[in-house]
Amino acid sequence: MAALGWLTPRRRSATARSVLAGEAAAEAARKTSAEDESALLTGPPDQASDQAPEEPAFPVAGDDRAAAFFDLDNTVMQGAAIFHFGRGLYKRKFFERRELTRFAWQQAWFRLAGVEDPEHMQDARDSALSIVKGHRVSELMSIGEEIYDEYMADRIWPGTRALAQAHLDAGQRVWLVTAAPVETATIIARRLGLTGALGTVAESVDGVYTGRLVGEPLHGPAKAEAVRALAAAEELDLERCAAYSDSHNDIPMLSLVGHPYAINPDTKLRKHARALDWRLRDYRTGRKAAKVGIPAAAGVGALAGGTAAALALHRRRR
């Protein structure tokens, strides 16, 4: 676990590549949001609002200078989107079985630990870039729609979904902010009826992927840069905005807004959130989910399955 040391919030700062990644993500998000505006779904939430009765009314209805920013992996969705996407590409024979085995182990580890391993995430991103190199963006977008239905739709946390819907119902914009490819993130955002998505931007020339990134993965400080750039372009007041994440890696993003939330938090984020009196929500156990009125049976069952798989893999490796 020593590799995690360089990811601690105190030692990380935005680099030129972080700023480039953030600005590229903001530009892509605004473009896709404008293109998809007519297709946004604004139906009723899957579940009732999660707001605890003792808390002040939030979000504030009619505040068009406020918005909400949601991390994706383990915050909105159980597991990591890039791993689910990898499974779908394998099914379509984009790569070999040994690569699927690596994807499966990384996903099992992620669900067992509940936090991102930087080596796993970097390996997955490198694999994904090499796999999509030479393919058309339009092809991957079409396949991504199918993969969402196959592997992702049933893994959305109802509680987090309800929080996002509360912002939409208040007339606010809601964005996903993720290290996943912006195309994948945009599909998920559209399916959930959200405004758009900030994600990692892979370089393409004439609609064909080159196998390179623009800047760096949208992770840690790069997420904060993307939110800052989008807020400036959309004339948002960050003090009136909210952000939601499960990971201490997103403390830079959470610290930007006036209403930070720790959702399914890892140990470091939980400690940080409690120290700063940030709001917390946890949908990973029946006891905690019941506390905020969200059924947890489906999520707990999926998490238990992932935990069992990870433990079995661990025993075999020993």
Within 10 angstroms of residue 312's Cβ, the number of other Cβ atoms is 11
Question: Going by DSSP bridges, is the β-strand pair 196-200/173-181 parallel, antiparallel, or unpaired?
Answer: parallel
Give the position of tokens 């490796």.
317
Angle at 196 between CA 168 and CA 213, to 5 degrees: 155
Q: Which residues pair with 280 in a beta bridge?
A: 262
The one-letter amino acid code at 43 reads G
Q: Is 13 exposed, middle or buried (0-12, 13-18, 19+ CB in 10 A)?
A: exposed
| Residue 31: CB atoms within 10 Å | 13
Name the burial class of residue 35, with classes exposed (0-12), middle (13-18) and buried (19+) by CB atoms within 10 angstroms of its CB. Answer: exposed
Q: Which residues are catalytic?
A: 71, 73
The answer to whether residues 71 and 246 touch, using CB atoms and an 8 Å cutoff, is yes
The pair of three-digit structure tokens given for residue 228, joined into one six-digit string = 């800052």
Q: Hey, CA dihedral for 213, 219, 223, 225, is it positive or negative?
A: negative
Helix (H) or strand (E) holding 35: helix 16-36
Euclidean distance between CA atoms 301 and 176, whole angstroms: 25
**Residue where the block lists tokens 């999926």:** 302
Strand partners, 243: 69, 260
C-beta of residue 66 within 8 angstroms of C-beta of residue 239 = no
